[in-house]
Amino acid sequence: MSNSPHFTKHLPPDNSSLISNVNNIDSSEISRENSETTTITEKEDPPYSVFTKNEKAAITTTVSLSAFFSPFSTNIYFPALHVIQQDLHTTEQLISLTVTMYMIFQGISPSFWGAMADTWGRRPVYIATFLFYSLASFGAGCSQNYPSLLVMRMLQAVGSSSAIAVGAGTIGDISTPAERGGYMGIYSMLTQLGPLLGPFLGGLISQTLGWRWIFWVLAILSFVLWVILVFFLPETLRSLTGDGSGYANPTPIQYWKRKFGKQKEDATDNISKFDFIIPPLTYTHNGLPISADILSEKKLKADNLILEDNDVKQQKKLHLNVFQSLSYLKEKDIAVLLFYNALQYGAIYSMLTSLTKLFTEAYQLNTLQIGLCYLASGFGSSLGSFSSGRLLNWQFNRYSKAFCNERGQAERSVSRKNIDPEFPIEAARLNLTWIWGIAFSLFTSAYGWCVQFHVHIAAPLTMAFFMTYTSSSTFCAINTLLVDLFPNNSAAIIASNNFTRCILGALAVFCVNPGVDLIGIGWFFTTVSLIVFVSRTILIVELKYGPKWRLQRSERNTIRQL
């Protein structure tokens, strides 16, 4: 084994453009006589993430179960609304306000949590918010009057809503665009188990143990998940850990491994999965090694640029912009997507929140039976999310092959980290939403008339199944596109989506009872279906002008970085 010296340089993973300038050194500057330098070439096409497929699946499942609690908490006490109203001696409108306020805080809070997660890491946000949520859930169960219940519900929303934004951000950290649709489908499917299981379990618990145990069960389950997050969920934020091999916000297992399981003096020989040590890299030119003592001024300038770039990144990490998610509303293509998604969300929640009252009056059901009725919409949500994830991957691969064949490129140039600016990502993600949108409007109108005329209960439940199937498919497609457009700020962009849809959803919840009383069940849901149907035309704007707006944004960002 040669004892010749190595010229090594520890470099951050995202400075390849700077290093390329070093390799352009004129050959006259290279000493061919310096044979003591050992050449170490950089590996081509490194993996986007060090996590294996099974590890990605485990991370996706964990963050999906975390996100599950936000809609689960919204829906779990729908069947018990009437019981809580009587027990706390309040009105129907005021008890509905607890749902409205929950959704408002559910929309506002991720703006803060998403910015924090994109700056300081995913793990601190998960750990802090879930402990907060568990305590708020316990407090809600102990509420003795309406004001205390209202406050606890708002605090619940603050704690649980973080996982919606941070979960999508975590998936963006570990997945390439080619596989992201599948992981987002799993994420959406498990998240939609909230509307599936929430009302059923809420009705069962309320009927057998009383409504207070609804919140105490939430406290227990969330605390168990908090323990799992603390001990097993790794940090994935790419600005902190790169491809996942970095050491930041460690789990207890990672911490003890690093402290006692390795010899620091021999770190390069005992590298672990969680050590942020970049393999040494020696610069070469035309296959010849460049010795350390004859590097040109270009090399030194490149080093200075790298150091300056790292300093800027470190300063940015320390700066927390809580309004970052709201700033995306200024982007035209994002505003179109968020508005479209929010209308869809408001429409589906007008059905979900009114089901208890409408079915109790139309079909004379008790609390447990009402909970069972929500299973139809829950199954629709979960199945729609899962199937749409598979379809999104299929669509992406189809567009990717056509795009690469047209330009004679390798397919991986599209499917990996950065999507080619000219790749039609909007069409790849949104083309199927036309089918889902038309079907949703038809099923929504039919649902209203079935309930109004007291058609056999199987009919409106079937309509509810297809309403949630089509709407959750749309949500999955838009969420995936948003992460594609902002992969480095995925938590913040999903937080902006959560903000707009929850605000509009809260407005829909507030208006549904007065609307039904004013024009009737059938005409109310027909009106909702028409509003959503007309809003589909905004997708034409997105598909036509979205790529142009995206390129303009990319050019602006490039200019800012110069």
User: Which tens digits make up the pLDDT trace of 208-221?
Assistant: 899 999 999 999 99
* Same domain? 292 vs 199: no
Residue 2 covered by a domain: no
For the chain, give the percent of residues with pLDDT over 90. Answer: 22
Q: Is residue 208 part of a domain?
A: yes
Q: How many CB atoms lie within 10 A of CB 143?
A: 18
Say whether both 410 and 450 belong to one domain: yes
Distances (CA, A) of 192 to 131, 186, 231, 472: 22, 10, 25, 8
Most confident of 306-315, 324-333, 461-470, 489-498: 461-470
Does residue 269 carry a pLDDT above 80? no
SS3 (DSSP) at 289: strand
Q: Note whether 537 and 436 are same-domain residues.
A: yes
Which of 298, 318, 338 is the last residue before a domain boundary? 318
| Residue 10: inside a domain | no
Same domain, 439 and 496: yes
pLDDT at 423 over 60: yes
Instruction: Looking at the structure, tell me whether residues 126 and 171 fall in a common domain.
Output: yes
Segment 409-431 mean pLDDT = 70
Asked if residue 327 and residue 310 are part of one domain, the reply reads no
Model pLDDT for residues 182-199, shown as the tens digit of each residue: 788 788 778 877 777 888
343 and 263 in one domain? no
The last residue of one of the domains, among 287, 318, 349, is 318
22 pLDDT more than 50: no
User: What tens digit of pLDDT does each residue of 347-368 get?
Assistant: 998 898 888 889 988 998 887 8
Q: Are residues 231 and 249 in the same domain?
A: no
Q: What is the DSSP string of 65-90?
A: HHHHHHHHHHHTTSTTHHHHHHHTT-
User: Based on the domain organization, do 302 and 368 belong to the same domain?
Assistant: no
295 with 414, same domain: the answer is no
Instruction: Quote the domain boundaries for residue 194.
Output: 53-242+319-561
Total domains in the chain come to 2
Looking at the structure, tell me whether residues 218 and 291 fall in a common domain.
no
* In a domain? residue 9: no
What is the rounded distance in angstroms from the CA atom of residue 166 to the CA atom of residue 126?
A: 8
In a domain, 4, yes or no: no
Q: Is residue 3 part of a domain?
A: no
The larger pLDDT score, comparing residue 27 to residue 514, is at 514
The CATH number of residue 102's host domain is: 1.20.1250.20
Q: Are residues 401 and 477 in the same domain?
A: yes
The pLDDT of residue 17 is 42
Q: Whole-number mean pLDDT of the chain?
A: 78
Please say whether the dihedral angle defined by the alpha carbons of residues 57, 58, 63 and 69, taken in this order, is positive or negative: positive
- Of 264, 286, 318, the residue at which a domain comes to its end is 318
Nearest residue to 159 via CA among 139, 137, 192, 142: 137
